[in-house]
Amino acid sequence: MLEIAPSVLAAHPLYVARDVSKVIEAGASILHLDIMDGHFVPNISFGPAMVKALRVEYPNVLLDVHLMLSQPERYLDDFVAAGADQITIHSEIEGDVPGMLKAIRQAGKGAGISLKPATPAKKIAPYLDLLDLVLIMSVEPGFGGQILMPETLPKLKALRSLGFEGVLSVDGGVNLANSHQVKQAGATRLVMGTAAFTAEDPKAMFEALSAE
């Protein structure tokens, strides 16, 4: 079944509770949380306190945490303690990537890895057994509201060909108009920031996404 994960980055920073409750009431059961350090990406967003606040408010919502951090190993424990359900690190970082993925799983959380647009699927071939989720960036990470790069989508089928059976998530510029293309490419989860948080009727949009 298709999963839809609204990205909280697109909520109004002063009215996160108002905006998040709107997408939850519309049926979302996953929230995607973009954590940016101003180093791995040029932007800075929010941290474990936001994850924890959402965990307390929404105990049953799956919290899908996307770490755009140069040194995620420094913060894994904090995001585990904050109540993340799935933690995704980037494939382009330096450091012990398999060690971090194992640590995430040992903490009882789902482990994910993300690929920037220029990173090929084969880069993560050695880690596929350690992964519950792969997050394909369909924009350069750092900012919401960008245009989806369709040339990133063939990586989804490439990962299936390599034998990956977990969640295939696409992040960046996904909207109702291009969702068919993203699903055809093999996505099982659509991350949506701008499209989910600016929808006048998010329930109707989520239903339309799932119906196709």
Active-site residues: which are they? 34, 171
141 binds ligand DX5 (CB under 6 A): yes
Residues 23-62 that bind ligand DX5 (CB under 6 A): 32, 34
Interaction pattern, residues 27-66, with Zn ion; x per rule: CB under 5 A: -------x-------------------------------x
CB under 8 Å to 166, separation ≥6 — which residues?
131, 132, 133, 134
Segment (H or E) for 160: helix 154-161
Contact positions with ligand DX5 (CB under 6 A) in 172-201: 172-174, 191-195
Is residue 85 near Zn ion by the rule CB under 5 A?
no
CA–CA gap between residue 67 and residue 147 (Å, rounded): 21
Angstrom CA distances, 116 to 104, 121, 146, 151, 182, stand at: 21, 10, 14, 12, 16
In Å, how far are 88, 92, 135, 145 from 72, measured between CA atoms?
9, 12, 16, 25
Q: Measured from the CB of residue 163, what is the shortest distance to ligand DX5 in angstroms?
A: 26
- For residues 133 and 112, the answer to whether their CB atoms sit within 8 Å is yes
Q: Does 66 bind ligand DX5 (CB under 6 A)?
A: yes
Please give the residues from 159 up to 178 whose contact with Zn ion meets the rule CB under 5 A: 171
- Asked if 11 touches ligand DX5 (CB under 6 A), the answer is no
84 is a site residue for ligand DX5 (CB under 6 A): no
Q: Of residues 72, 110, 142, 202, which one binds ligand DX5 by CB under 6 A?
A: 142
Measured CA to CA in angstroms, residue 102 lies from 44, 114, 173, 186 at distances of: 27, 16, 30, 26
Contact positions vs Zn ion (CB under 5 A): 34, 66, 171
Contact positions vs ligand DX5 (CB under 6 A): 7, 9-10, 32, 34, 66, 139, 141-142, 144-146, 171-174, 191-195
